[in-house]
């Protein structure tokens, strides 16, 4: 999904959603980030305009399909951004591209996600009984109360939500060498699910430059403090653009 097509962009930014979210999360980002950047908001099966498709529940099945679908958009330099589960998707896409000897992203930004090699003890949520699952969604504060109270809507989206939580909860990290591109890890100081030390642990996945940035707010700080997040992301993107030099763009 291209919320704001920009044929003259020097850099594409692929944005991956958090559990339960769709491409619309990033709908405004194209006009708020540097004009040299074109935002590609990734729409997964089971979300929004793809609600009728079966959602993936295994990361190892999703990543190859996703990389294949995005290949057509990798005809110019690109960066990867993902929040929560989306951060894990961005990370695994970068590793798959390296394994296949394909062009690498010029920047990887993970947000609201523990480093993949660390273990945080927590119960699995994707297979909770219905009432407990809905209570858990309420505690996360990521699903509007009016949606939680609507049995018809919840019946439609609950299978997708369960699949989304399963993506992260069944993920099996396989060690590989650290990634060579610059890596930034964003976190929320009030995020009870993702402690700050687990954000800083992303440094172990970076062979090159690494920076961690902490924002006010809880797990959904990218919505609560969007302007601050976009300011830091703009900083990272400007550095990446500076490294590209006079990259020719063919509209």
Q: DSSP per residue over 230-246, as a string? A: HHHHHHHHHHHHHHH-S
> For residue 2, what pLDDT is reported?
58
Residue 145 neighbours by CB distance under 10 Å:
9
Catalytic residue among 24, 57, 84, 111: 84
Given a contact cutoff of 8 angstroms between Cβ atoms, the answer to whether 43 and 73 are in contact is: no
Strand, coil or helix: 82: strand
> 109: which 2 tokens?
């930004």
> For residue 141, what pLDDT is reported?
63
d(CA 176, CA 75): 26
> For residue 142, what pLDDT is reported?
61
> For residue 247, what pLDDT is reported?
42
Q: Give alpha helix (H) positions in 20-178.
A: 29-32, 59-70, 85-99, 130-140, 145-148, 151-169
Given a contact cutoff of 8 angstroms between Cβ atoms, the answer to whether 193 and 219 are in contact is: yes
For Cα atoms 190, 231, 223, give the angle at the middle one, nearest 5 degrees.
45
| Residue 92: C-alpha distances to residues 14, 61, 117, 172, 173 (Å) | 13, 11, 12, 11, 10
Is 212 assigned a catalytic role?
no
Q: Report which of 194, 191, 137 is spatially closest to residue 165, judged by C-alpha positions.
A: 137
Q: Report which of 87, 111, 117, 141 is spatially closest to residue 230, judged by C-alpha positions.
A: 111
Given a contact cutoff of 8 angstroms between Cβ atoms, the answer to whether 111 and 229 are in contact is: yes
Domains of the chain in start order, with CATH, are: 11-120+177-244 (3.40.50.1820)
Record the pTM: 0.89
> For residue 138, what pLDDT is reported?
72
pLDDT tens for the 251 residues of the chain, in order: 655 678 889 999 999 999 888 899 999 999 999 999 999 999 999 888 898 888 898 999 999 999 999 999 999 999 999 999 999 999 999 999 999 999 999 999 999 999 999 987 666 676 677 777 777 777 666 677 777 777 777 777 787 888 888 888 889 999 999 999 999 999 999 998 899 999 999 999 999 999 999 999 999 999 999 999 999 999 999 999 999 874 444 33
> For residue 249, what pLDDT is reported?
41
Residue 151 neighbours by CB distance under 10 Å:
8
């Amino acid at each position: 999904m291209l919320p704001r097509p920009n044929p003259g962009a020097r850099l594409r930014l692929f944005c991956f959603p958090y559990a339960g979210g769709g491409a619309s999360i990033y709908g405004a980002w194209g006009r708020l980030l540097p004009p040299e950047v074109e935002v590609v908001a990734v729409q997964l099966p089971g979300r929004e305009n793809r609600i009728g498709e079966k959602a993936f529940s295994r990361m190892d099945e999703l990543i190859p399909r996703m990389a294949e679908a995005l290949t057509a958009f990798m005809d110019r330099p690109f960066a990867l951004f993902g929040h929560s589960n989306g951060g894990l998707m961005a990370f695994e896409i970068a590793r798959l591209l390296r394994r296949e000897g394909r062009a690498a992203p010029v920047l990887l930004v993970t947000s609201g996600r523990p480093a993949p090699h660390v273990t945080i003890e927590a119960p699995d949520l994707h297979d909770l009984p219905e009432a407990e699952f809905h209570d858990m969604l309420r505690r996360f504060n990521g699903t509007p109360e009016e949606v939680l109270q609507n049995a018809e809507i919840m019946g439609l989206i609950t299978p997708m939500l369960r699949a989304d939580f399963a993506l992260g909860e069944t993920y099996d990290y396989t060690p590989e060498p650290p990634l060579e591109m610059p890596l930034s890890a964003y976190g929320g100081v009030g995020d009870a699910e993702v402690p700050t030390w687990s954000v800083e642990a992303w440094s172990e996945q970076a062979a090159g430059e690494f920076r961690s940035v902490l924002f006010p707010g809880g797990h959904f700080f990218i919505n609560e403090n969007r302007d601050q997040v976009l300011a830091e992301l703009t900083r990272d993107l400007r550095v990446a653009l500076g490294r590209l030099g006079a990259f020719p763009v063919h509209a």
